[in-house]
Homo-oligomer: A and B are copies of this chain.
Amino acid sequence: MNSSKLNELDAWQAARLIAKRDLRAVDLLHACLDRITERDDEVHAFAHLDRAHALMQANALDRGPVRGILHGLPIGVKDMFDTIDFPTSYGSPVYGAHRPKADAASVALCREAGALVVGKTVTTEFAYFYPGATRNPNDLTRTPGGSSSGSAAAVADSMLPLALGTQTAGSVIRPAAYCGVVGYKPSSGRVPRAGIKSLSETLDTPGGFGRCVRDVALLGAVLTGDSRLSTSPEESAAPRIGLCRTPEWAYTEADTQRAWDTATTALTHVAPALADVALPDDVPDLVALQKEVMAFEMCRALSVERLHHRDQLSLQLQAQLDSGSVISGGTHAANLVRTEGARHRINALFDRFDVLLAPSAAGEAPVGIDATGDPLFCRAWTLLGLPCVHLPFTRGSNGLPVGLQVVGRWGEDHRLLSSAQWIYDRLTK
């Protein structure tokens, strides 16, 4: 195998070769580090990188027994996750070169499965909107999306096969869409958040990025502890697909509309059960609800930063915390109850469909790196806690990646991933 291309291997392929000792972790890592050297001065995917430490981890894994399904795979970790061996800044000068006492639980689980951490990837400030330095590897004048900017860019640019992210509004699905990789946000509550900087009890969801569905399924199996995610049959049964334009459809651009037409046309020919579906009439405005829940909870979860480090926060974040501070606790309690009601009613949709197909973003990644684009098409699914997978399968009018997301029933991540694989195969082969 041409070692200069090892960095382009899918994670599942590399893991298989390493487990058979047909590939050394250190050789895969070298290819990834070479790619990082070549590109990261322009892409800026990494906040903290430690080549020597990564090589030491790789050598140790090559010498030891195969630990698990991520054995020898180099991963990037969004700088919202605590790491014992890298600084952890949460994208903010408030934390500078903070060294946590321990790894986040999800990082420890990845290491237990044999992954090696190459570095911390750039996050927006506390995973909210103020951007880091990362640029879109497909077009350096454009945003990679956020908040998991560095993780999406590193995977898209073949610097790494896998990376961890988190989503509170649209921070996994949107950067996956803009960068053109597969992003996976698990069901709420299935991945331990211990050691991840908290913005919102209700919304924060750890997830990850890969370059194919099987790769995020591998990562998802480790994060959730559900081995069914990575052991689905090569070819699963055709899913029942609900086509859900969502109430925000009017905000889609021509590129997303073309992707929608392409996908639905292709699937109509092969999917045995496919139908348009709208959210029930009695469901409230989920986007407005998500925004209000997020503002209230961020204002409180980031109390230390709000009270003691305000001068080190961006104006955007200050404004967000201020907007949360004027929402009453009674309104918030009612919002949480309305959220529960919406979750229950939308769960019933999945009696008729295995998955929903929906927009991921308005269109291609916007020009400029002073903002990370709009999470509009992700807010409702995050509020509902439903598992989502972004599928990149086409290009927009400027040649940038465009795709759609597949949304599953809460707690049925294994079915979502096998359905996403089925759909992805139909859209890309």
Contacts and interface: CB of A to CB of B under 8 A. Distances in A.
Given A101-B95, A329-B226, A304 B202 contact: no
A128 interface: no
Contact of A105 (B198, B226, B328): B198
Interface string A171-203: 000000000000000010111111101100110
A297 interface: yes
A296 to B, nearest CB: 7
A385 to B, nearest CB: 10
Nearest to A331: B226
Contact of A193 (B95, B109, B198, B226): B198
Interface string A238-254: 00000000000000000
A182 to B, nearest CB: 21
Chain A: number of interface residues, binned into ranges: 35 or more
A16 interface: no
Nearest to A221: B329
A411 interface: yes
Given A112-B307, A224-B329, A225-B332, A302 B337 contact: no
Contacts of A193: 198, 201
A303 B192 contact: yes
A340 B411 CA distance: 10
Given A190-B336, A202-B189, A102 B304 contact: yes
Given A194-B198, A410-B340, A411-B336, A105 B329 contact: no
Contacts of A411: 333-334, 336-337, 340
A225 B296 CA distance: 9
A79 interface: no
Nearest to A344: B344
A98 interface: yes
Contacts of A108: 303-304, 307-308
Given A108-B307, A109-B303, A303-B105, A332 B201 contact: no
A24 to B, nearest CB: 24
Interface in A304-318: 304, 307-308
Contacts of A190: 201, 333, 336
Nearest to A110: B303
A59 interface: no
A98 to B, nearest CB: 6
A40 B58 CA distance: 51
A414 interface: yes
B201 A330 contact: no
Interface in A272-320: 296-297, 300-304, 307-308
5 contacts: A108-B308, A190-B336, A194-B301, A226-B332, A337-B410
Closest A-B pairs by Cβ, 4 of them = A226-B329, A194-B198, A108-B303, A225-B329
